Amino acid sequence: MAHINRKEYWIIFAWLTVLTVLEVGLVYIPGIGKVPMVIGLFSMALTKAALVGLFFMHLRHETRILKLNIAIPMAIPMFYALVLVTEALWRKLP
């Protein structure tokens, strides 16, 4: 059984909590445009997904090919969601 570094897990948990609070707070900032908000939310969601994958799924110590086998399928729906959001924002333009 591999050594579990509980302190590292708590640090990652704290980062995930901070990012979640920032995501919620970003939505309530008055006067922020839709595009900067969407970019910020996507960036924070991507960062959170990377942290979960690297630390809680233990991908940080795996080979490059295994990391790609996980990252590519995870990126496809994210790319599709980005296309849908971009298209929806484009349709709302005057």
**pLDDT digits 0-9 by tens, 25-52:** 999 999 999 889 988 998 999 899 889 9
Burial class (CB within 10 angstroms; exposed 0-12, middle 13-18, buried 19+) of 8: exposed
pLDDT band at 2 (very low <50, low <70, confident <90, very high): low
- Extents of the domains making up the chain: 6-92
Average pLDDT, stretch 3-7? 78
Average pLDDT, stretch 7-24? 95
Query: Could you tell me how far CA 72 lies from the centroid of its own chain?
Result: 14
Task: State whether residue 36 is helix, strand or coil.
Answer: helix
The more confident residue out of 17 and 64 is: 17
What pLDDT sits at residue 92?
Answer: 84
